[in-house]
Amino acid sequence: MPEFDLLIKGGTVATAADTFSADVAIKDGRIAALGHDLGSGSREIDAGGMLLLPGGIDAHCHIEQESSTKIMTADDFYSGSVSAAFGGNTTIVPFAAQHRGQSLRDVVDTAHGRAGPKCVIDYAFHLIVSDPTESVLGQELPALIQSGYTSFKVYLTYEMLKISDRQMLDVLSLARNHGAMTMVHAENDDVISWISERLLTRGYTEPKFHAVSHAQIAESEASRRAIDLARLVDAKLLIVHVSAPEAAQAILNARNNGLPIYGETCPQYLFLTAEDLDREGMEGAKFCCSPPPRDKAAQEVIWRGLTNGTFQVFSSDHAPYRFDATGKLNAGPNPTFKKIANGVPGLEVRMPLLFSEGVRKGRLNLNEFVALTSTNAAKIYGLYPQKGSIAVGGDADIGIWDPEWERTISQSMLHDNMDYTPYEGRTVTGWPRMTINRGRVVVEDDTLQVDRGSGAFIEREPAGDGTAALTAGTPLAPTGVFGADLA
Ligand code: DUC
Ligand code: ZN
Ligand code: ZN
């Protein structure tokens, strides 16, 4: 009788810390042993020439979520999670999004009702808080944090989502007191609407003006402000989807000053530019996301930020809206830039793109790749050490990667429910051949191997635990707010 359920032999294991050759033995969904001559498995996989990487954690994706303008994403939890699995992910953390007037608890129940019967890999939820009323701040949010929903996103822009600086302080100090992580969409709403109005009254309506209206200064100002608000109340803060060099610099400065500020960036800021929004006709709409892609120089700064301590997390911000009346063109075939649904897809290509252009081209090493695509998200969002590594006792979440597999991206090979990919025609080397989640082979031979609804909801620990090693530097002087007992 074999002692293990699964034995992966002959591969090279890479974690955020090490790269070593080892067999991986799996039993009851967990990693039981690492080493050589471990015994036998009911199933044995030859991973010669392959890399064994921790399953990807996509910690920022919008799946089966209504936007604030009531547009549903193209992916539900089935197509979204299948697509994620084919891209080497074993955990996704999408959002349970509150729209104004909604109870947070109801929003969470709805998200569970949508995900539970469909998700094929493991999942957790961040909250989106757009209406921090007394009952939300006083009861619902503390109770949800206590139940393991230990992170939430707030917006400083979008008419129906944005919160004021005062509300931001309420949310940050609550997060601080209850051990949660605040994630912020940092763009200055007034700057964007001021520029937008001027563009529209002058007849500048095409998709490319989306990037003009979402000026870099809108992002860097809001990022600096959010950092200062967090500093005022000694709270942790993670700035999501960073695109602008000055915003990246603000995060790095804060981190170098020892503040618990974290940064996330996404494929669209490494591989797309504002010129993509200027494609023929309405084609540019396919690239409209917020913040928008910038220019080549900004791409270089964002690349550097992946290895200089600015960014801890690399997520897709998968926000899938088809190029039709259900999505991008919901306001008609020729909408102004203001009416184009914001977002780009990227769940399935996030890791292969970064592997190919980052690891293979020498911009980051394999351990940095693992940290950015899995381990740091697990640590920051309270999933570690259950998720985010290949270690004895942890969940057996493993991507078996073929570092030489060259494929040209086309929408027809992807598994999401989209009708385009912004990365069409790009040749990418390095893809997962197999995805294993809690010991279950989810993807093999380019085929899904598991049932709908077989993913598990993962309850999380307080966010930010285990991330001490991610911050460095000398703490700034305390702000004194808490000395005065204003929390
Ligand atoms: N911007 C967001 O804030 N969320 C989803 C997609 C986007 O472009
Ligand atoms: Zn956002
Ligand atoms: Zn987003």
On whether residue 415 sits in a domain, the answer given is no
Ligand number nearest CA of 95 is 3
At 299, which helix (H) or strand (E)? Answer: helix 296-305
Instruction: Specify the pTM.
Output: 0.96
Question: How much distance in Å is there from the Cα of 291 to the middle of ligand 2?
Answer: 8
Ligand 1, residue 158: give the atom nearest the CA: 3
Which residues are 96's β-sheet partners?
127
Question: Is 153 a domain residue?
Answer: yes
**Among candidate residues 229, 237, 233, 232, the one with its CA nearest the CA of residue 255:** 237
Residue 40: predicted pLDDT: 98
Q: From the CA of 195, how far away is ligand 3's center (Å)?
A: 22
Q: Sign of the C-alpha dihedral, residues 346, 349, 351, 357?
A: negative
How many Cα atoms within 13 Å fall on the side-chain side of residue 474? 1
Residue 470 lies in a domain: no
Longest CA span, the chain? 76
DSSP symbols for 72-119: BPS--HHHHHHHHHHTTEEEEEEEEEPPTT--HHHHHHHHHHHHTTT-
User: What is the distance in A from the centroid of ligand 2 to the CA of 290?
Assistant: 7
pLDDT of residue 68: 86
Return all residues near 250 (Cβ < 8 A) that are at least 6 apart: 220, 223, 224, 227
In a domain, 268, yes or no: yes
pLDDT (tens digit per residue) in 34-48 = 999 999 999 999 999
Residue 366 maps to a domain: yes
Ligand 1 center–CA 23 separation, angstroms: 41
> What's residue 479's pLDDT?
54
Domain extent for 278:
56-377
Task: Give the residue from 388, 392, 402 showing the smallest Cα distance to 470.
Answer: 388
Contact 93, 58 (CB under 8 A): yes
Considering its fold, how many domains does the chain have in total? 1
Residue 136 lies in a domain: yes
Cα-to-chain-centroid distance, residue 479: 31
Query: pLDDT truncated to tens, each residue of the chain (487 aa)?
Result: 899 999 999 999 999 999 999 999 999 999 999 999 999 999 999 999 999 999 999 999 999 999 988 999 999 999 999 999 999 999 999 999 999 999 999 999 999 999 999 999 999 999 999 999 999 999 999 999 999 999 999 999 999 999 999 999 999 999 999 999 999 999 999 999 999 999 999 999 999 999 999 999 999 999 999 999 999 999 999 999 999 999 999 999 999 999 999 999 999 999 999 999 999 999 999 999 999 999 999 999 999 999 999 999 999 999 999 999 999 999 999 999 999 999 999 999 999 999 999 999 999 999 999 999 999 999 999 999 999 999 999 999 999 999 999 999 999 999 999 999 999 999 999 999 999 999 999 999 999 999 999 999 999 877 554 444 444 444 444 454 544 445 4
- What is the CATH classification number for the domain harbouring 130? 3.20.20.140
Q: Name all residues whose Cβ lies below 6 A of ligand 1.
A: 62, 185, 289-290, 317, 319, 342-343
- Bond from prior residue into 385 cis (ω within 30 degrees of 0): yes
Q: Is residue 382 within 8 Å of 32, Cβ to Cβ?
A: no
- Could you please report the per-residue DSSP string of 140-176? IHHHHHHTT--EEEEESSSTTTB--HHHHHHHHHHHH
Distance 465 CA to ligand 2 centre (A): 24
Task: Point out the ligand 1 atom lying closest to the alpha carbon of residue 240.
Answer: 3
- Which positions ≥6 away from 239 have C-beta within 8 Å? 183, 184, 186, 223, 226, 227, 247, 251, 261, 262, 263, 264
From atom 2 of ligand 1, which residue's Cα is the shortest distance away? 290
Are 462 and 144 in contact by the 8 Å Cβ rule? The answer is: no
Ligand number nearest CA of 154 is: 2
Using CA positions, which residue lies closest to atom 4 of ligand 1?
343
Q: Estimate to the nearest angstrom the gap between the alpha carbon of 283 and the chain centroid.
A: 25
Q: Which residues contact 139 (CB under 8 A, 6 or more apart)?
A: none
What does the block give as tokens for 182? 């605040």
- Tell me which of 67, 241, 344 to substitute to probe ligand 1's pocket, judged by most ligand atoms within 8 Å of the beta carbon: 241
* Rounded-to-integer distance, Cα 230 and Cα 254, Å: 11
**Residue 209 has which token pair?**
């003006």
For atom 7 of ligand 1, the residue with the nearest CA is: 343
Q: Enumerate residues 6+ apart whose C-beta is below 8 A from 261.
A: 227, 230, 236, 237, 238, 239, 251, 254, 255
How much is the pLDDT for 464? 58
User: How many angstroms separate the CA atoms of 321 and 83, rounded?
Assistant: 15
Q: Which atom of ligand 1 is nearest to the CA of 289?
A: 8
> What are φ and ψ of residue 360, in 5° steps?
-65, -30
Residue at 2 is within a domain: no
Pocket test for ligand 1, best of 66, 187, 266, 342 (most atoms within 8 A of CB): 342
Q: What is the dihedral of CA 467, 470, 472, 478, to 10 degrees?
A: -40
Give the residue carrying structure tokens 């591969």: 11
DSSP per-residue letters across 245-313: HHHHHHHHHHHHBT--EEEEE-THHHH--GGGGGSTTTGGGGG--SSPP--HHHHHHHHHHTTTTS-SE
Q: What is the pLDDT of residues 430-472, one digit of tens each?
A: 999 999 999 999 999 999 999 999 999 999 877 554 444 444 4
Residue 238 lies in a domain: yes
8 A C-beta contact, residue 470 and residue 376? yes
Task: Read off the tokens for 38.
Answer: 């471990």
263 C-alpha to center of ligand 2: Å?
A: 13
Beta bridge partners of residue 261, listed in sequence order: 237
- 151, 184 contact by CB (below 8 A): no
